[in-house]
Protein backbone atom coordinates (compact mmCIF):
# COMPACT_ATOMS: atom_id res chain seq x y z
CA UNK A 1 0.00 0.00 0.00
CA UNK A 2 3.05 2.27 -0.06
CA UNK A 3 3.28 4.95 -2.69
CA UNK A 4 7.02 5.42 -3.25
CA UNK A 5 6.58 7.83 -6.15
CA UNK A 6 4.04 10.02 -4.34
CA UNK A 7 1.22 9.11 -6.70
CA UNK A 8 -2.25 9.93 -5.51
CA UNK A 9 -1.33 12.11 -2.51
CA UNK A 10 -3.19 15.11 -3.94
CA UNK A 11 -6.33 13.17 -4.90
CA UNK A 12 -9.09 14.34 -2.46
CA UNK A 13 -11.11 11.17 -3.05
CA UNK A 14 -8.17 8.97 -2.08
CA UNK A 15 -7.39 11.09 0.98
CA UNK A 16 -11.03 10.86 2.09
CA UNK A 17 -11.04 7.08 1.58
CA UNK A 18 -7.78 6.71 3.51
CA UNK A 19 -9.25 8.65 6.43
CA UNK A 20 -12.05 6.12 6.78
CA UNK A 21 -9.48 3.61 8.08
CA UNK A 22 -8.79 4.24 11.77
CA UNK A 23 -6.74 2.64 14.51
CA UNK A 24 -7.70 3.01 18.16
CA UNK A 25 -4.35 4.31 19.39
CA UNK A 26 -4.31 6.15 22.71
CA UNK A 27 -2.86 9.64 22.86
CA UNK A 28 0.62 9.71 24.32
CA UNK A 29 -0.44 11.77 27.35
CA UNK A 30 -3.57 9.76 28.21
CA UNK A 31 -3.51 7.77 31.43
CA UNK A 32 -3.39 4.05 30.87
CA UNK A 33 -5.68 2.11 33.19
CA UNK A 34 -4.47 -1.35 34.26
CA UNK A 35 -6.54 -4.42 33.43
CA UNK A 36 -8.92 -5.20 36.33
CA UNK A 37 -7.28 -8.60 36.92
CA UNK A 38 -3.71 -7.53 36.36
CA UNK A 39 -1.19 -7.02 39.13
CA UNK A 40 0.79 -3.87 38.69
CA UNK A 41 4.48 -4.48 39.35
CA UNK A 42 6.25 -2.15 41.77
CA UNK A 43 7.40 1.06 40.20
CA UNK A 44 5.36 0.54 37.01
CA UNK A 45 4.44 3.81 35.29
CA UNK A 46 0.82 4.86 35.33
CA UNK A 47 0.96 6.68 32.00
CA UNK A 48 2.61 6.50 28.62
CA UNK A 49 5.21 9.15 28.08
CA UNK A 50 4.66 11.29 25.00
CA UNK A 51 6.71 9.97 22.09
CA UNK A 52 9.36 12.07 20.47
CA UNK A 53 9.01 12.92 16.80
CA UNK A 54 9.51 9.85 14.57
CA UNK A 55 9.52 7.40 17.50
CA UNK A 56 5.98 6.11 16.91
CA UNK A 57 4.51 5.79 13.43
CA UNK A 58 1.31 7.57 12.51
CA UNK A 59 -1.81 5.36 12.78
CA UNK A 60 -2.23 5.02 9.03
CA UNK A 61 1.46 4.20 8.58
CA UNK A 62 1.13 1.51 11.25
CA UNK A 63 -1.86 0.04 9.47
CA UNK A 64 -0.06 0.10 6.17
CA UNK A 65 2.94 -1.66 7.69
CA UNK A 66 0.71 -4.41 9.11
CA UNK A 67 -1.29 -4.89 5.91
CA UNK A 68 1.83 -4.94 3.78
CA UNK A 69 3.15 -8.04 5.57
CA UNK A 70 -0.06 -10.08 5.55
CA UNK A 71 0.07 -13.29 3.46
CA UNK A 72 -3.47 -12.57 2.24
CA UNK A 73 -3.89 -10.19 -0.67
CA UNK A 74 -5.67 -6.94 0.12
CA UNK A 75 -7.07 -4.39 -2.33
CA UNK A 76 -8.43 -0.92 -1.60
CA UNK A 77 -10.77 0.28 -4.35
CA UNK A 78 -12.46 3.63 -4.70
CA UNK A 79 -16.06 4.03 -5.83
CA UNK A 80 -15.05 3.76 -9.49
CA UNK A 81 -13.32 0.42 -8.89
CA UNK A 82 -9.86 1.93 -9.22
CA UNK A 83 -7.08 0.43 -7.12
CA UNK A 84 -5.90 3.04 -4.61
CA UNK A 85 -3.86 0.62 -2.53
CA UNK A 86 -2.75 -3.00 -2.31
CA UNK A 87 -0.28 -5.00 -0.30
CA UNK A 88 2.68 -7.08 -1.45
CA UNK A 89 0.70 -10.34 -1.36
CA UNK A 90 -1.88 -8.91 -3.76
CA UNK A 91 0.81 -7.71 -6.16
CA UNK A 92 2.47 -11.14 -6.02
CA UNK A 93 -0.80 -12.91 -6.87
CA UNK A 94 -1.30 -10.58 -9.84
CA UNK A 95 2.41 -11.04 -10.70
CA UNK A 96 2.98 -7.30 -10.98
CA UNK A 97 4.53 -4.34 -9.19
CA UNK A 98 2.56 -2.31 -6.68
CA UNK A 99 3.42 0.97 -8.39
CA UNK A 100 2.15 -0.35 -11.75
CA UNK A 101 -1.13 -1.63 -10.34
CA UNK A 102 -2.14 1.38 -8.26
CA UNK A 103 -4.34 3.71 -10.27
CA UNK A 104 -5.69 1.02 -12.60
CA UNK A 105 -9.31 -0.07 -12.64
CA UNK A 106 -9.71 -3.59 -11.30
CA UNK A 107 -11.80 -4.72 -14.29
CA UNK A 108 -9.06 -3.49 -16.60
CA UNK A 109 -6.65 -5.93 -14.99
CA UNK A 110 -9.06 -8.77 -15.72
CA UNK A 111 -12.74 -8.48 -16.65
CA UNK A 112 -13.52 -11.49 -14.44
CA UNK A 113 -12.55 -9.47 -11.35
CA UNK A 114 -15.73 -7.38 -11.63
CA UNK A 115 -17.36 -9.69 -9.07
CA UNK A 116 -14.93 -8.31 -6.46
CA UNK A 117 -16.54 -4.88 -6.69
CA UNK A 118 -19.67 -6.01 -4.85
CA UNK A 119 -20.12 -7.20 -1.28
CA UNK A 120 -19.47 -10.95 -1.22
CA UNK A 121 -18.53 -13.73 1.20
CA UNK A 122 -16.17 -16.54 0.23
CA UNK A 123 -16.59 -16.26 -3.52
CA UNK A 124 -14.27 -17.63 -6.19
CA UNK A 125 -13.07 -16.35 -9.53
CA UNK A 126 -11.11 -18.21 -12.20
CA UNK A 127 -8.31 -16.40 -14.02
CA UNK A 128 -6.84 -18.20 -17.01
CA UNK A 129 -3.18 -17.58 -17.74
CA UNK A 130 -3.80 -15.89 -21.09
CA UNK A 131 -5.58 -12.58 -20.75
CA UNK A 132 -7.40 -10.43 -23.28
CA UNK A 133 -5.57 -7.61 -25.06
CA UNK A 134 -4.52 -5.03 -22.49
CA UNK A 135 -5.09 -7.33 -19.51
CA UNK A 136 -2.39 -8.74 -17.25
CA UNK A 137 -0.81 -12.08 -18.15
CA UNK A 138 -0.29 -14.81 -15.55
CA UNK A 139 2.25 -17.60 -15.52
CA UNK A 140 -0.51 -20.14 -14.88
CA UNK A 141 -4.26 -20.39 -14.48
CA UNK A 142 -5.34 -19.42 -10.96
CA UNK A 143 -8.41 -19.72 -8.77
CA UNK A 144 -8.84 -16.81 -6.35
CA UNK A 145 -11.01 -16.98 -3.26
CA UNK A 146 -12.15 -13.57 -2.02
CA UNK A 147 -14.35 -11.61 0.35
CA UNK A 148 -15.41 -8.02 -0.46
CA UNK A 149 -16.75 -5.32 1.85
CA UNK A 150 -17.98 -1.79 1.15
CA UNK A 151 -16.27 0.83 3.31
CA UNK A 152 -18.64 3.62 4.46
CA UNK A 153 -17.43 7.12 5.22
CA UNK A 154 -18.30 9.15 8.36
CA UNK A 155 -21.56 10.20 6.72
CA UNK A 156 -22.49 6.60 5.88
CA UNK A 157 -21.92 7.09 2.17
CA UNK A 158 -19.78 4.32 0.59
CA UNK A 159 -16.23 5.51 -0.04
CA UNK A 160 -14.92 2.35 -1.69
CA UNK A 161 -14.38 -1.36 -1.29
CA UNK A 162 -11.90 -3.55 0.59
CA UNK A 163 -11.17 -6.94 -0.95
CA UNK A 164 -9.39 -9.75 0.87
CA UNK A 165 -8.30 -12.57 -1.43
CA UNK A 166 -5.83 -15.42 -1.83
CA UNK A 167 -4.66 -17.93 -4.42
CA UNK A 168 -6.57 -21.17 -3.68
CA UNK A 169 -5.52 -23.04 -6.83
CA UNK A 170 -3.65 -25.79 -4.98
CA UNK A 171 -6.47 -26.26 -2.49
CA UNK A 172 -8.99 -26.60 -5.33
CA UNK A 173 -6.80 -29.17 -7.05
CA UNK A 174 -6.52 -31.20 -3.85
CA UNK A 175 -10.27 -30.96 -3.39
CA UNK A 176 -10.81 -32.13 -6.97
CA UNK A 177 -8.38 -35.03 -6.53
CA UNK A 178 -10.11 -36.11 -3.33
CA UNK A 179 -13.53 -35.99 -4.97
CA UNK A 180 -12.14 -37.96 -7.92
CA UNK A 181 -10.71 -40.57 -5.54
CA UNK A 182 -14.05 -40.98 -3.77
CA UNK A 183 -15.88 -41.36 -7.09
CA UNK A 184 -13.40 -44.00 -8.19
CA UNK A 185 -13.85 -45.90 -4.94
CA UNK A 186 -17.63 -45.92 -5.40
CA UNK A 187 -17.27 -46.91 -9.04
CA UNK A 188 -14.78 -49.58 -8.10
CA UNK A 189 -17.20 -51.26 -5.74
CA UNK A 190 -19.95 -51.28 -8.37
CA UNK A 191 -17.52 -52.49 -11.03
CA UNK A 192 -16.24 -55.33 -8.88
CA UNK A 193 -19.78 -56.56 -8.24
CA UNK A 194 -20.73 -56.48 -11.92
CA UNK A 195 -17.47 -58.07 -13.04
CA UNK A 196 -17.92 -60.92 -10.58
CA UNK A 197 -21.42 -61.62 -11.93
CA UNK A 198 -20.22 -61.53 -15.55
CA UNK A 199 -17.21 -63.75 -14.95
CA UNK A 200 -19.21 -66.95 -14.33
CA UNK A 201 -21.15 -67.02 -17.64
CA UNK A 202 -18.04 -66.00 -19.59
CA UNK A 203 -16.09 -68.87 -18.05
CA UNK A 204 -18.94 -71.26 -18.91
CA UNK A 205 -18.97 -70.11 -22.55
CA UNK A 206 -15.22 -70.55 -22.88
CA UNK A 207 -15.29 -74.00 -21.26
CA UNK A 208 -18.12 -75.24 -23.48
CA UNK A 209 -16.36 -73.96 -26.60
CA UNK A 210 -13.18 -75.78 -25.61
CA UNK A 211 -15.16 -78.98 -25.03
CA UNK A 212 -16.79 -78.68 -28.45
CA UNK A 213 -13.39 -78.27 -30.09
CA UNK A 214 -12.55 -81.82 -29.03
CA UNK A 215 -15.84 -83.37 -30.15
CA UNK A 216 -15.51 -85.81 -33.12
CA UNK A 217 -18.53 -84.23 -34.81
CA UNK A 218 -16.69 -80.93 -35.29
CA UNK A 219 -13.12 -82.21 -35.37
CA UNK A 220 -13.09 -82.24 -39.18
CA UNK A 221 -15.25 -79.16 -39.64
CA UNK A 222 -12.79 -76.42 -40.48
CA UNK A 223 -15.26 -73.57 -40.30
CA UNK A 224 -16.64 -74.85 -37.02
CA UNK A 225 -13.16 -75.11 -35.50
CA UNK A 226 -12.39 -71.57 -36.62
CA UNK A 227 -15.57 -70.23 -35.04
CA UNK A 228 -14.92 -72.10 -31.80
CA UNK A 229 -11.35 -70.82 -31.71
CA UNK A 230 -12.67 -67.30 -32.16
CA UNK A 231 -15.14 -67.82 -29.31
CA UNK A 232 -12.35 -69.05 -27.04
CA UNK A 233 -10.09 -66.11 -27.96
CA UNK A 234 -12.82 -63.54 -27.37
CA UNK A 235 -13.90 -65.05 -24.07
CA UNK A 236 -10.26 -65.05 -22.94
CA UNK A 237 -10.06 -61.38 -23.85
CA UNK A 238 -13.25 -60.65 -21.91
CA UNK A 239 -11.91 -62.67 -18.99
CA UNK A 240 -8.73 -60.56 -18.99
CA UNK A 241 -10.82 -57.38 -19.01
CA UNK A 242 -12.88 -58.72 -16.10
CA UNK A 243 -9.68 -59.41 -14.20
CA UNK A 244 -8.66 -55.77 -14.72
CA UNK A 245 -12.05 -54.59 -13.51
CA UNK A 246 -11.86 -56.79 -10.43
CA UNK A 247 -8.33 -55.64 -9.66
CA UNK A 248 -9.38 -52.01 -10.09
CA UNK A 249 -12.44 -52.49 -7.90
CA UNK A 250 -10.76 -54.38 -5.08
CA UNK A 251 -7.31 -52.77 -5.10
CA UNK A 252 -5.80 -55.90 -3.64
CA UNK A 253 -2.59 -55.61 -1.70
CA UNK A 254 0.35 -57.44 -3.22
CA UNK A 255 1.98 -60.43 -1.52
CA UNK A 256 5.66 -60.77 -2.22
CA UNK A 257 7.48 -64.08 -2.37
CA UNK A 258 10.94 -64.93 -3.65
CA UNK A 259 10.80 -66.11 -7.24
CA UNK A 260 12.46 -66.12 -10.64
CA UNK A 261 11.32 -62.99 -12.48
CA UNK A 262 13.06 -64.05 -15.69
CA UNK A 263 11.05 -67.29 -15.70
CA UNK A 264 7.82 -65.27 -15.43
CA UNK A 265 8.90 -63.01 -18.30
CA UNK A 266 9.80 -65.99 -20.49
CA UNK A 267 6.53 -67.81 -19.73
CA UNK A 268 4.39 -64.78 -20.52
CA UNK A 269 6.27 -64.06 -23.76
CA UNK A 270 5.98 -67.70 -24.89
CA UNK A 271 2.25 -67.76 -24.17
CA UNK A 272 1.52 -64.54 -26.07
CA UNK A 273 3.82 -65.60 -28.92
CA UNK A 274 1.82 -68.80 -29.41
CA UNK A 275 -1.41 -66.80 -29.33
CA UNK A 276 -0.36 -64.55 -32.23
CA UNK A 277 1.11 -67.23 -34.49
CA UNK A 278 -2.13 -67.62 -36.44
CA UNK A 279 -2.79 -63.90 -36.72
CA UNK A 280 -2.84 -62.32 -40.14
CA UNK A 281 -0.30 -59.71 -39.01
CA UNK A 282 3.28 -60.92 -38.52
CA UNK A 283 4.23 -60.09 -34.93
CA UNK A 284 7.64 -61.23 -33.69
CA UNK A 285 8.00 -61.30 -29.90
CA UNK A 286 11.31 -61.90 -28.16
CA UNK A 287 12.62 -61.78 -24.61
CA UNK A 288 16.25 -60.94 -23.84
CA UNK A 289 18.42 -60.26 -20.82
CA UNK A 290 19.72 -56.72 -20.91
CA UNK A 291 22.34 -57.27 -18.22
CA UNK A 292 24.26 -59.91 -20.18
CA UNK A 293 23.55 -62.59 -17.58
CA UNK A 294 22.10 -66.06 -17.96
CA UNK A 295 19.94 -68.06 -15.62
CA UNK A 296 17.38 -66.99 -13.03
CA UNK A 297 16.69 -63.42 -11.97
CA UNK A 298 15.59 -63.88 -8.38
CA UNK A 299 13.50 -61.15 -6.80
CA UNK A 300 10.83 -60.71 -4.13
CA UNK A 301 7.54 -59.91 -5.87
CA UNK A 302 3.88 -60.80 -6.28
CA UNK A 303 4.09 -63.19 -9.22
CA UNK A 304 0.44 -62.97 -10.28
CA UNK A 305 0.46 -59.16 -10.13
CA UNK A 306 3.69 -58.78 -12.12
CA UNK A 307 2.43 -61.36 -14.61
CA UNK A 308 -0.67 -59.21 -15.11
CA UNK A 309 1.53 -56.16 -15.77
CA UNK A 310 3.59 -58.04 -18.38
CA UNK A 311 0.51 -59.49 -20.11
CA UNK A 312 -1.12 -56.06 -20.33
CA UNK A 313 1.96 -54.29 -21.62
CA UNK A 314 2.91 -56.95 -24.18
CA UNK A 315 -0.66 -57.24 -25.46
CA UNK A 316 -0.77 -53.47 -25.84
CA UNK A 317 2.43 -53.67 -27.89
CA UNK A 318 0.99 -56.45 -30.10
CA UNK A 319 -2.20 -54.44 -30.60
CA UNK A 320 -0.17 -51.38 -31.62
CA UNK A 321 1.56 -53.44 -34.32
CA UNK A 322 -1.69 -54.95 -35.54
CA UNK A 323 -3.16 -51.47 -35.98
CA UNK A 324 -0.44 -50.53 -38.46
CA UNK A 325 -1.69 -50.09 -41.99
CA UNK A 326 0.89 -52.41 -43.57
CA UNK A 327 3.45 -55.02 -42.60
CA UNK A 328 4.17 -56.61 -39.29
CA UNK A 329 6.37 -55.63 -36.41
CA UNK A 330 8.49 -56.64 -33.46
CA UNK A 331 7.99 -56.62 -29.70
CA UNK A 332 11.15 -56.82 -27.63
CA UNK A 333 10.97 -57.50 -23.88
CA UNK A 334 14.19 -56.80 -22.01
CA UNK A 335 14.87 -57.71 -18.38
CA UNK A 336 17.94 -56.59 -16.45
CA UNK A 337 19.09 -56.08 -12.89
CA UNK A 338 21.87 -54.31 -11.02
CA UNK A 339 22.50 -53.51 -7.38
CA UNK A 340 19.80 -50.82 -7.34
CA UNK A 341 17.13 -51.60 -9.93
CA UNK A 342 15.30 -54.38 -11.69
CA UNK A 343 14.25 -53.02 -15.06
CA UNK A 344 11.68 -54.36 -17.52
CA UNK A 345 11.43 -52.69 -20.91
CA UNK A 346 8.78 -53.45 -23.55
CA UNK A 347 9.52 -51.93 -26.96
CA UNK A 348 7.39 -52.08 -30.11
CA UNK A 349 7.43 -50.50 -33.55
CA UNK A 350 3.66 -50.12 -33.75
CA UNK A 351 1.48 -47.11 -34.42
CA UNK A 352 2.70 -45.17 -31.40
CA UNK A 353 0.68 -42.86 -29.16
CA UNK A 354 -0.28 -39.34 -30.27
CA UNK A 355 1.46 -36.69 -28.17
CA UNK A 356 -1.85 -35.18 -27.01
CA UNK A 357 -2.80 -38.48 -25.34
CA UNK A 358 0.43 -39.15 -23.44
CA UNK A 359 -0.53 -37.07 -20.41
CA UNK A 360 -3.74 -39.04 -19.88
CA UNK A 361 -2.83 -42.66 -20.65
CA UNK A 362 -2.69 -43.51 -16.93
CA UNK A 363 -6.13 -42.03 -16.20
CA UNK A 364 -8.76 -44.60 -15.27
CA UNK A 365 -11.17 -45.42 -18.12
CA UNK A 366 -9.26 -43.30 -20.62
CA UNK A 367 -8.56 -45.23 -23.81
CA UNK A 368 -7.57 -44.43 -27.38
CA UNK A 369 -8.96 -47.69 -28.82
CA UNK A 370 -12.47 -49.03 -29.27
CA UNK A 371 -11.75 -52.38 -27.62
CA UNK A 372 -10.15 -51.33 -24.32
CA UNK A 373 -11.58 -50.39 -20.94
CA UNK A 374 -8.92 -47.80 -20.14
CA UNK A 375 -7.87 -49.77 -17.06
CA UNK A 376 -4.84 -51.66 -18.35
CA UNK A 377 -2.19 -48.99 -17.77
CA UNK A 378 -3.74 -47.65 -14.52
CA UNK A 379 -3.72 -51.20 -13.14
CA UNK A 380 -0.11 -51.67 -14.28
CA UNK A 381 0.97 -48.47 -12.56
CA UNK A 382 -0.88 -49.43 -9.38
CA UNK A 383 0.91 -52.80 -9.24
CA UNK A 384 4.31 -51.28 -10.01
CA UNK A 385 3.93 -48.60 -7.37
CA UNK A 386 2.84 -51.15 -4.78
CA UNK A 387 6.20 -52.81 -5.47
CA UNK A 388 7.91 -49.48 -4.81
CA UNK A 389 8.68 -48.83 -8.48
CA UNK A 390 7.60 -46.55 -11.29
CA UNK A 391 6.44 -46.95 -14.89
CA UNK A 392 7.24 -44.61 -17.77
CA UNK A 393 5.92 -44.49 -21.34
CA UNK A 394 7.84 -42.92 -24.23
CA UNK A 395 6.16 -42.93 -27.60
CA UNK A 396 6.32 -41.31 -31.02
CA UNK A 397 3.29 -41.55 -33.26
CA UNK A 398 4.05 -43.66 -36.32
CA UNK A 399 7.36 -44.89 -34.87
CA UNK A 400 6.61 -46.96 -31.79
CA UNK A 401 6.39 -47.10 -28.02
CA UNK A 402 8.74 -48.02 -25.19
CA UNK A 403 7.39 -48.79 -21.73
CA UNK A 404 9.97 -48.88 -18.94
CA UNK A 405 9.23 -50.41 -15.54
CA UNK A 406 11.80 -49.70 -12.83
CA UNK A 407 11.54 -51.67 -9.61
CA UNK A 408 13.79 -51.43 -6.54
CA UNK A 409 16.22 -54.33 -6.50
CA UNK A 410 15.85 -54.74 -2.74
CA UNK A 411 12.17 -54.07 -1.90
CA UNK A 412 12.40 -55.86 1.42
CA UNK A 413 16.10 -55.73 2.21
CA UNK A 414 17.00 -58.91 0.34
CA UNK A 415 19.17 -58.97 -2.77
CA UNK A 416 17.55 -59.97 -6.07
pLDDT 10s digits, 396-411? 998 999 999 999 986 4
Q: How far apart are CA 287 and CA 77, in angstroms?
A: 69
Asked if 79 and 47 sit in the same domain, the reply is yes
Domain contains 374: yes
Asked if 148 and 179 sit in the same domain, the reply is no
pLDDT of residue 416: 44
Domain contains 3: no
Q: What is the mean pLDDT of residues 150-156?
A: 85
4-18, 39-53, 182-196, 265-279, range with the lowest pLDDT: 39-53
For residue 342, what pLDDT band results from cuts at 50, 70 and 90?
very high
pLDDT, tens digit (0-9, with 9 covering 90-100), for 32-90? 333 333 334 333 333 333 444 444 446 666 666 766 778 899 998 999 999 998 888 99
Q: Is the pLDDT of residue 146 over 90?
A: yes
Q: How far is CA 3 from CA 107, 164, 299, 382, in A?
A: 21, 20, 67, 55
pLDDT of residue 157: 86
Q: Is the pLDDT of residue 197 over 90?
A: no
More confident residue, 28 or 288: 288
372 with 320: CB under 8 angstroms? no
For residue 222, what pLDDT band results from cuts at 50, 70 and 90?
confident
Asked if 224 and 324 sit in the same domain, the reply is no
Q: What is the mean pLDDT of residues 318-340?
A: 87
DSSP H or E run through 314: helix 303-322
Asked if 246 and 258 sit in the same domain, the reply is no
Q: How far apart are CA 153 and CA 194, in angstroms?
A: 66
DSSP H or E run through 220: none
CA angle at residue 259 from 258 to 263, to 5 degrees?
170
What are φ and ψ of residue 354, in 5° steps?
-55, 145
pLDDT of residue 56: 45
pLDDT of residue 373: 64
Q: Which of 130, 146, 167 is the last residue of a domain?
A: 167
Q: What is the mean pLDDT of residues 143-157?
A: 89
More confident residue, 17 or 373: 373
Domain, as residue range, for 261: 252-416
Q: Is the pLDDT of residue 371 over 90?
A: no
For residue 414, what pLDDT band results from cuts at 50, 70 and 90?
very low
Strand partners, 396: 400
Domain contains 401: yes
Q: How far apart are CA 19 and CA 13, in angstroms?
A: 10
Q: Is the pLDDT of residue 238 over 90?
A: no
pLDDT, tens digit (0-9, with 9 covering 90-100), for 160-171? 999 999 999 999
Asked if 262 and 244 sit in the same domain, the reply is no
The per-residue b/e assignment along 50-79, b for 16 or more CB within 10 angstroms, e otherwise, is eeeeeeeeeeeeebbeebbeeebbbbbbbe
Asked if 294 and 338 sit in the same domain, the reply is yes
Asked if 55 and 186 sit in the same domain, the reply is no
Asked if 126 and 212 sit in the same domain, the reply is no
| pTM, 2 dp | 0.50
Query: Percentage of residues in the chain with pLDDT exceeding 90?
Result: 31
Give the mean pLDDT of the chain. Answer: 79
What is the distance of C-alpha 193 from the center of its chain? 28
Asked if 100 and 51 sit in the same domain, the reply is yes
Intra-chain end-to-end CA distance of the chain, in Å: 63
Q: What is the mean pLDDT of residues 313-332?
A: 86
Amino acid sequence: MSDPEGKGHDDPKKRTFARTIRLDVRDGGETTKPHPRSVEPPGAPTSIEPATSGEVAEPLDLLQAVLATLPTGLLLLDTSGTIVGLNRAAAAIFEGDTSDLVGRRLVDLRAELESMLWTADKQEVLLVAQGRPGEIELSETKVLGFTSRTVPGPDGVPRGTVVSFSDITEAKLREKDEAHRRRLEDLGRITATLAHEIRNPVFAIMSLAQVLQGEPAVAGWADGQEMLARIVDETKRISALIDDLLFFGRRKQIRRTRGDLWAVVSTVVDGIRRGVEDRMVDVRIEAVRGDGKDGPLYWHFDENAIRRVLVNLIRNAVSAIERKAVGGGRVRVTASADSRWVTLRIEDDGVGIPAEHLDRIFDEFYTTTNSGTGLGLPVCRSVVRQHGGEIRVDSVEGVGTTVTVELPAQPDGNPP
